[in-house]
A = this chain, B = another copy of it.
Amino acid sequence: MNIAIPIFDQITALDAVGPYEVLSRLPGARVMFVAAEPGPKRTETGMLALVADHRLDEVPEPEVIVVPGGYGTRPLTSDATMLEWLARAHETSQWTTSVCTGSLVLGAAGILDGLEATTHWLELEGLRQYGATPVARRIVEQGKVLTAAGVSSGIDMALTLAARIAGEQYAQAIQLGIEYDPEPPFVGGSTAKAPPEIIELVRSAAATLA
C-alpha cells in the first residue's frame, strides 16, 4: 500500500510525522514523502528539514494521501502542479486525508466541495471558499475523505484510518506500540476547553504559537 505525504517549505513537521509514525506501521505500508522537487523541505521555523525522496509524478496513484499543514499551504492553494496531482490522485485513492491547514489544499483541489471538513481552529472559516462546511471536530470523516484539526490531531486521524484499513486490533497494537496514552498537562487543547485569555494569546501570536 502506497501512502503519499506531500511536503513543502514552511510545513508544520508534526502534521506529517504524526501520521507517518502511525501509518508506516501498517502491514505492507510504503510511506513516500513527495514534492514537485525532491529534497529537503524546511519547517516554518526554519530549524528542521524533512526530506522528500520522491517526485509527485513518480507516485500518481497512491492508495492513501495525507496532506499536512503549515504556512506553506498558502502558496500551495494556487500551485497548479500540486493541485492537479491531488485532484488526479484523489480519483483513484482509497483514502484522501489532511491534517491542519492541509485541508485548505484539498479544498483548492476541489476535493471538499459540498463536504463537511475541519482544519486548525484559527482557519476554520477559510474552508467555506472551497464549498466546504467547517466543523469544529477533531476528525471529520466524509466517505473516503478524512480531515483532521490542528497539528497533533493527525495522530488521532491516522489511528482512526489504521483501524479502517487494517482492523481495530491492528490499530490498537500500533497505538500501544507508539505508547499513545496521552496525558496532556492542561485541559485546554481545544477552543471548547481553553480559557478565553489563552485563546486570545494564541490569536495575537499566531505566527509563533499556532
Contact = CB atoms under 8 A, between A and B. Distances in A.
Contacts of A168: 186
This chain's copy number in the assembly: 2
Contacts of A30: 47
A174 B50 CA distance: 22
A175 B184 contact: yes
Nearest to A204: B173
Nearest to A195: B172
A75 interface: no
Interface string A108-150: 0000000000001100000000000000001100000000011
A78 B98 CA distance: 40
B171 A185 contact: yes
A176 B117 CA distance: 20
Contact of A210 (B100, B159, B160, B177): B177
Interface residues of A, number: 73
B176 A180 contact: no
A11 to B, nearest CB: 11
Nearest to A197: B169
Contacts of A171: 185-186
Interface in A25-57: 25, 30-33, 40, 43, 45, 47-51, 53
Contacts of A198: 169, 172-173, 176
Given A20-B47, A31-B45, A47-B31, A139 B183 contact: yes
Given A185-B175, A209-B177, A20 B48 contact: yes
B173 A182 contact: no
Interface of A: 12-14, 17-18, 20-21, 24-25, 30-33, 40, 43, 45, 47-51, 53, 100, 120-121, 138-139, 149-153, 155-156, 159-160, 163, 168-169, 171-186, 188-195, 197-199, 201-202, 205-206, 208-210
Instruction: Enumerate the 7 nearest inter-chain pairs by beta-carbon distance, A residue then B residue, closest first.
Output: A150-B179, A181-B189, A181-B190, A182-B182, A177-B209, A49-B51, A14-B21
